[in-house]
Amino acid sequence: MPDKIFYVGIDVHLKSWNITIMMDKLHQKTFSQPPDPEILYNHLVNNYPGGAYHSAYEAGFSGYWTHFKLLELGIDSIVVNAADIPTTGKEKVQKEDSRDSKKIARSLRNDELTCIHIPSLISLGDRGLVRLRGSLVTDMARAKNRIKSFLHFNGIHIPTELVNTSWTKRFLDWLEGLELRPSCKLTIEGYLSSYYETRKILLKVTNQIRGLSRSTIYKQDAELLQSIPGIGLITAMTTLTELEDMGRFAALDQLCGFIGFVPSTNSSGDNERVGGITPRGHGVLRSALIESAWIAARVDPALARSYYQYSNRMKSNKAIIRIAKKLLSRIRYVLKNKVPYVCGVLK
């Protein structure tokens, strides 16, 4: 079928893919197959030889490996945000895998889909390392909470001289030296073993990230970002690996929209409602910037004054979002202009 264009909508799942193939005015076929790009490619070339193949699937748990493999096989692939796919009311209330693949194929044929930014394989690998550290920090907090819960449950009080020295060597030596019943002793040893192992991996990963920040790819930008009050090594590397290229954002508003620092709105006629920040956004970056904003609001004089002014007329959790947006503006400035940030002096 020379000169024919085939639009392939893929609804990706762990154990199977639901596929819909369409042409300009025809719905060719909807079927299910194993989650393998080569099987899809073989089906296309055997049943629709000589055509041009375009595919789309929703970003999700499967990442981008499918996209890269489809491109390698000669299929023009895009990855889209699920929220950006036009959906009818019927499709919302009667959601099925086959309907989803038809919806993607139809929107692809109608040129209604926009591909999200696809990171490079290098960025994806580095991003995975930084995200691993975040998971390990969460695991560390859980390990600590389990130990504290064990102490409370068994009525074990921390000595006064150790209350403010949690997780130091003295505190850990005290935990290991507790005289307990055999079963309780095994329990606390298990919790401590989990804590030590997680801490060991966390230190190793942190050192790897520190080394990565000194590499040619990141060194200059990482140093520029750390010149901003509130931005440390981890936030800098999170920003660089998650954004990859600041140049793809033409304006600050576009960057704020990507991260999720824009309000949700609901307007109709003369009625207009502006709510909190939109739930759509980049959760990893948003959390990192808000955490850094709390630090920046204490150490940057200009941001400290802004936070004080905001908190006089709104709740602190809303005020810090505005500080995070200002911090993001500083990040964008230093990365685009390749100059370190200089704190202003308030008079």
3-state DSSP assignment of residue 76:
strand
Q: Is residue 247 part of a domain?
A: yes
Q: Is residue 243 part of a domain?
A: yes
Domain limit, last residue, from 109, 132, 149: 109
Pairwise CA distance, residues 216 & 108, whole Å: 39
Q: Where does the chain have alpha helices with state H?
A: 37-47, 65-73, 89-93, 97-109, 121-153, 169-176, 182-213, 219-226, 233-243, 252-259, 283-299, 301-311, 316-337
Q: Is residue 347 part of a domain?
A: no
Q: Is residue 297 part of a domain?
A: yes
Give tens-digit pLDDT for 249-304: 989 989 998 898 876 544 444 454 444 566 677 889 999 999 999 999 999 999 99
Q: Is residue 344 part of a domain?
A: no
Q: Is residue 277 part of a domain?
A: yes
Q: What are 210's two structure tokens?
A: 């520190």
Domain limit, last residue, from 185, 213, 241: 213
The boundaries of the domain holding residue 305 are 220-337
Q: Is residue 345 part of a domain?
A: no
Pairwise CA distance, residues 331 & 329, whole Å: 5
Q: Are residues 199 and 252 in the same domain?
A: no
DSSP state string for 126-161: HHHHHHHHHHHHHHHHHHHHHHHHHHHHTTPPPPGG
* pTM given for the model: 0.86
3-state DSSP assignment of residue 220:
helix
> What CATH number corresponds to the domain at position 73?
3.30.420.40
Q: Are residues 255 and 271 in the same domain?
A: yes
End-to-end alpha-carbon separation of the chain, Å? 74
Q: Are residues 192 and 241 in the same domain?
A: no
Beta carbons within 10 angstroms of residue 240's beta carbon: 25
Pairwise CA distance, residues 145 & 35, whole Å: 40
Pairwise CA distance, residues 99 & 345, whole Å: 59
Q: Is residue 28 part of a domain?
A: yes
Which residues in the chain land under pLDDT 50?
265-270, 272-275, 346-347
Q: Are residues 237 and 193 in the same domain?
A: no
Q: Are residues 206 and 149 in the same domain?
A: yes
Q: What's the number of domains the chain is made of?
A: 3
Pairwise CA distance, residues 185 & 122, whole Å: 46
pLDDT at 297: 92
DSSP code at position 36: -
Q: Are residues 234 and 283 in the same domain?
A: yes
pLDDT at 105: 95
pLDDT at 1: 58
Exposure on the CB side of residue 207, measured as CA atoms within 13 A: 6
